[in-house]
Amino acid sequence: MLQKGEKAPDFTLQSTPEKRVTLADLRGKNVILAFYPADWSPVCSDQMSLYNEMLKYFERYNAVLLGISVDGAWCHQAFAKARQLHFDLLADFEPKGAVSRLYGVYEEGVSQRALFVIDAEGIIQWSYLSPVGQNPGADGILNALEKLK
On whether residue 3 sits in a domain, the answer given is no
On whether residue 136 sits in a domain, the answer given is yes
Is residue 44 part of the annotated active site? The answer reads yes
pLDDT, tens digit, 9 for 90 and up, residues 75-105: 999 999 999 999 999 999 999 999 999 999 9
Is residue 14 helix, strand or coil?
Answer: strand
The answer to whether the beta carbons of residues 89 and 69 sit under 8 Å apart is: yes
Average pLDDT for the chain: 97
On whether residue 98 sits in a domain, the answer given is yes
Is residue 116 helix, strand or coil?
Answer: strand
Residues of the chain with pLDDT under 70: none
Is residue 113 helix, strand or coil?
Answer: coil
Q: Which listed residue (44, 73, 117, 142) is catalytic?
A: 44
**In this structure, what is the dihedral angle of CA atoms 126, 131, 46, 69, given to the nearest 10 degrees?**
70
Q: Determine the pLDDT at residue 149.
A: 85
Q: Determine the pLDDT at residue 20.
A: 97
On whether residue 2 sits in a domain, the answer given is no
On whether residue 1 sits in a domain, the answer given is no
Count of structural domains within the chain: 1
The CATH number for 48's domain is 3.40.30.10
Q: Determine the pLDDT at residue 92.
A: 98
Its domain, for residue 25, covers 12-148
**CA separation for the pair 21, 103 (Å, rounded):** 17
